[in-house]
Copies of this chain bind each other. A is one copy, B any other.
Amino acid sequence: MINTPIVHSGEACTKSIAAIRDTLYVLSGKWKLPIIIALKSGPSRFKDLQRQLQDITPKILSKELKELELNEFVTRTVYATSPVTVEYNLTKYSETLNKVIIEMSDWGLQHRKRMMNNSRKEKKSISLQ
Contact = CB atoms under 8 A, between A and B. Distances in A.
Interface of A: 1-6, 8-10, 13-14, 16-26, 28, 30, 33-34, 37-38, 40-41, 52-53, 92, 95-112
Where chain A touches its partner, the secondary structure class is helix
A111 B23 contact: yes
A128 to B, nearest CB: 23
Copies of the polypeptide in the assembly: 2
A19 B28 CA distance: 17
Nearest to A21: B34
A22 B92 contact: no
Given A13-B38, A40-B13, A41-B8, A21 B108 contact: yes
